[in-house]
Structure 1
Amino acid sequence: MSFAPKSTPLVASGHTRPVTHLSFSSLQDDGSYLLISSCKDGKPMLREWTGDWIGTFLGHKGAVWSTKLSPDSARAASGSADFTAKVWDTYSGTPLHSFPHNHIVRTVALSPTSSHLLTGGQEKKVRMFDLARPDAEPDYLTESAGLAHEGTVKSVVWVGDHTGVSAGEDGLVKWWDLRTRQLTNKINFSNPITSMELSAQTGRLVITSGTTVAFVPALPNSNGKAHSLNLAYAPSSATIHPIWQDRFVTGNTGDEWVRIHSMDGDEREVLKGHHGPVHSVEYSPDGEMFASGSEDGTIRLWQTTPGKTYGLWQGQG
């Protein structure tokens, strides 16, 4: 009798507080990619695609809620409870710019050319900074009363050359023309948005709100169709397989498990390994693995196909 290989995660340790957010880089020309992690210890970490530690970005004085990498992985951006957003050189770990805010920065996004930075957070504002003029006043994306949202801005993403998308605790997802700073579209959820990530390869936003997971075209005027599901629990984060697009993975702050679902919502597998609620999940750009970050302070890397020779799993199948 034979059994399917069991999914055994690799544990990437190093953080000392809960891991709040994970983000992979784009796939590089040599087939590699990087992983950057945010943590309440205030020290974002950069890792190889194998999970091996590259370096730690030192400079924040509070919890880091969001970190993103530029498409070429040369730059990183971070948003923190110390009321700043920072842009870093990933080769040297040097902070290049620090942008002060008046409250906690919960989310950041770099433009495709690393020329601009979007930020959002507990001020309910979305700012756009020109990195060529870091001392200049930022532009603001506002709909009314000088605010972008009526609740904390939980996520901002940059889509294409000129589109920004913001999601807030007010349950709204908004699209902005970054050339005019004008609102162009919005959709409403009945519960606060808990996460929103751009799946660049599938052209979709993956959004969690209450017990809902939604897959929404990243550009509203595209030919894609929105697809949403109601789960039996409230996911904290979700990520879709970038190649196969036949499954998605969720984390959940209500337990310590990572779940794999088919696109009709059926639960395929429950993965156990963390010792605390799971705050963030993210597929690698090649779809060969996904990462989960937890309250337990660890990052775990899971193979899409357990037993396959890949990275540090080589010889473990």
Structure 2
Amino acid sequence: MRPILMKGHERPLTFLKYNRDGDLLFSCAKDHDPTVWFADNGERLGTYRGHNGAVWTCDISRDSARLITGSADQTAKLWDVRTGTPLFTFNFDSPTRSVDFSVGDKLAVITTDPFMGLPSAIHIKRIARDPEDQSGESVLTLKGPQGRINRAVWGPLNRTIVSGGEDSVIRVWDSETGKLLKESDKEESHKKTITSLTKAVDGSHLLSGSLDKSAKLWDSRTLKLVKTYVTERPVNAVAMSPLLEHIVLGGGQDASSVTTTDHRAGKFEAKFYDKSLTEEIGGVKGHFGPINALAFNPDGRSFSSGGEDGYVRLHHFDQDYFNIKI
């Protein structure tokens, strides 16, 4: 499996996202310019210029026409994917951390960080079909729990929003009333900050990664813990294969403690686990710093990782990978 190395960012990567067709890959980084690449050969297509701070996250509409990005410059922006034109800017009073389009792309959930005395919050915005009709009004604002919310994603049928963050609890909110419906059990929950949260293709389960060196698989409806995957370093990013019963975790020590060890000790590999057996099946090395972002191509035949080293690494699986037996 020979990786394709993509160097388009000056600063550490923060997020990766494929479009639904799997032919485009979008990358966000602590530099200000989200970038789009061809997903098969890693060729850079273009950048989206307009943010003045680190871009933490992005999402792409199902028809690949719109991109939404969230940034530390206290805005979330809607873009025309093809032309790179900014269509609309949502302004907030604190940095934007997470964005997610609903199924059908008519709504977006945007989370904002605690800032200058303001608590973290979850905002639901209506996304207009015509950018001319777009407004910045929130349909609903949920005042969040203590600490930062690192990820918020839509639950099944857009009825709920699932969030996770610094207080290490996963919460399910009613997307119409804003009522808190469920919280993950304290005993089963992560013990440290939840860094990442992703849902299965069919929406039936969720995978969370945490600085407590574990990832956990949850039932989307009941928030019951299904499986726990233990690793020996903080987990910054998680992804689930849409094709096989595999999950991949990425992370590593934080950058400050890495300089004293060599890159082999930093444990910066993407680790693959069997979803049901929770056993490690292999790892992919290559980054010279912690992995901050992971994404599977929707066809399940390739995946990409983004690191603190500023590189995106694109891996197309060899046939052997599909024949792994445990």
TM-score calculated relative to the size of structure 1: 0.85
Listed as ranges, the matches of 1:139-158 within 5 Å are 139-142=139-142, 147-158=143-154
Q: CA deviation at 1:65?
A: 0.5
Alignment partners' CA distance in 1, 2:140 and 2:147: 16
Q: Which runs of 5+ in 2 are unaligned?
A: 115-119, 254-265, 322-326
Change (3 A) 1:152 1:47: same
Confirm whether residue 305 of structure 1 aligns to residue 318 of structure 2.
Answer: yes
1:122-175, Cα deviation, whole Å (9 max, x unpaired):
131001112236435314443xxxx22211010011233332211121112111
Listed as ranges, the matches of 1:1-317 within 5 Å are 7-26=1-20, 28=21, 32-50=22-40, 51-123=42-114, 124-132=120-128, 134-142=134-142, 147-159=143-155, 160-187=157-184, 188=186, 189=189, 190-201=191-202, 203-209=204-210, 210-220=212-222, 226-245=226-245, 247-254=246-253, 255=266, 256-263=268-275, 264-305=277-318
**Does structure 2 retain, via aligned residues, the 8 Å contact 1:75–1:114?**
no
Q: One-letter code of the match for 1:282?
A: A
**Does structure 2 retain, via aligned residues, the 8 Å contact 1:278–1:292?**
yes
Alignment partners' CA distance in 2, 1:111 and 1:300: 28
**Does structure 2 retain, via aligned residues, the 8 Å contact 1:8–1:306?**
no
Alignment partners' CA distance in 2, 1:23 and 1:205: 17
Alignment partners' CA distance in 2, 1:67 and 1:281: 13
**Does structure 2 retain, via aligned residues, the 8 Å contact 1:81–1:104?**
yes
Change (3 A) 1:251 1:113: same
1:46-96, Cα deviation, whole Å (9 max, x unpaired):
122212222211100000000111122111111101010111111211111
Change (3 A) 1:149 1:225: closer
Alignment partners' CA distance in 1, 2:85 and 2:221: 34
Alignment partners' CA distance in 2, 1:92 and 1:218: 36
Q: Say which SS state the counterpart of residue 172 (structure 1) adopts.
A: coil
Change (3 A) 1:203 1:45: farther
Alignment partners' CA distance in 2, 1:107 and 1:96: 19
**Does structure 1 retain, via aligned residues, the 8 Å contact 2:125–2:140?**
no
Percent identity (aligned): 29
Q: Which runs of 5+ in 1 are unaligned?
A: 1-6, 309-317
Change (3 A) 1:271 1:155: same
1:179-222, Cα deviation, whole Å (9 max, x unpaired):
2222222215222111112222463211012122111233338x
The alignment's C-alpha RMSD in Å is: 2.1
Alignment partners' CA distance in 1, 2:226 and 2:320: 34
Map of 2:259 onto structure 1: none
Q: Say which SS state the counterpart of residue 305 (structure 2) adopts.
A: strand
Q: CA deviation at 1:307?
A: 7.6
Change (3 A) 1:163 1:202: closer
Q: One-letter code of the match for 2:269?
A: W
TM-score calculated relative to the size of structure 2: 0.83
Alignment partners' CA distance in 2, 1:300 and 1:248: 17
Alignment partners' CA distance in 1, 2:95 and 2:8: 24
Change (3 A) 1:22 1:266: same
1:11-63, Cα deviation, whole Å (9 max, x unpaired):
1121111111111122x3xxx43211111111001122212222211100000
Q: One-letter code of the match for 1:285?
A: P
